[in-house]
Amino acid sequence: MVNQYETVFILTPVLSEDQVKETVKTYEKLITDNGGEIVNRENWGMRKLAYPIQKKSTGFYNLFEYRVDGQFIEKLEVQYKRDEKVLRFLTVKLDKHAIAYSEKRRKKFAESKKTKTAEKKA
């Protein structure tokens, strides 16, 4: 059964920008190769962690929102656990209210981006 999920994962701060992009593409490809569909992808950049993880105080945050068969989630999480570049991850199954909120948030972000672009041109 295809459900919608959201995964936030934190990559180690010792990676270069190219390594971060490559790692994100690897997980995106893993999802799509297993019959998943990426709904939204956000790169939140480097942020300070709430507490140190593996003696690191910052990390590269990324968010994937995707539709995939529920049995695939276990396989994805095993990949996250095996990858030493991933400090932490959290996968959440979205219900209809969370999906509606996420769509509303994306539209609001897109509108604010258009407004900022229009202000720069003026």
Q: Distance (Å, rounded) from C-alpha 73 to C-alpha 5? A: 9
Domain regions of the chain by residue span: 2-97
Backbone angles phi, psi at 15, to 5 degrees: -80, 150
Predicted local distance difference test score (pLDDT) of residue 122: 64
Q: Distance (Å, rounded) from C-alpha 108 to C-alpha 53? A: 33
Select the CATH number that applies to the domain covering 2-97 from these four: 3.40.640.10, 3.30.70.1380, 3.30.70.60, 2.60.15.10: 3.30.70.60
pLDDT digits (tens, 9 = 90+) for 51-64: 999 999 999 999 99
Give per-residue burial for 76-112: e unless 16+ CB within 10 Å, then b: beeebeebebbbebebeebeeeebeebeeeeeeeeee
Per-residue pLDDT of the chain (122 residues; tens, 9 = 90+): 789 999 999 999 999 999 999 999 999 999 999 999 999 999 999 999 999 999 999 999 999 999 999 899 999 999 999 999 999 999 999 999 988 998 898 888 888 777 777 777 76
